[in-house]
Amino acid sequence: MTHSTDEGLIDEQQAWRSFDQLSESLSPELTAAMREELRTYFGTHSLINRTTLLLMAIDRKDGLEYVGAL
């Protein structure tokens, strides 16, 4: 069952769908690192903020850099 709130929180299923879309534009290395971070995050949490999910990768002058979900 999918759950969403007005605060921008999404459940794990929605987060993985969003991640799949986001990862299409990322390097395989960054995708793998972010995938592991999400697995770890959802080991102890049931919801994530949409903005937090998007901020897992930020644009730097040398490309996308992994920063983590927390």
Q: In tens digits, what is the pLDDT along the chain, a chain of 70 residues? A: 444 445 689 999 999 998 888 888 778 888 888 888 889 999 999 998 888 777 766 545 455 555 554 4
Query: Is residue 62 in some structural domain?
Result: yes
- What pTM did the predictor assign? 0.67
User: How many domains does the chain contain in total?
Assistant: 1
The packing angle between helices 28-41 and 12-23, to 10°, is 170
- Domain containing 41: what range? 9-66
Query: How far is Cα 43 from Cα 41, in angstroms, rounded to an integer?
Result: 5
With a CB cutoff of 8 Å and minimum separation 6, the contacts of 55 are 67
Query: Is residue 49 in some structural domain?
Result: yes
Query: Is residue 44 in some structural domain?
Result: yes
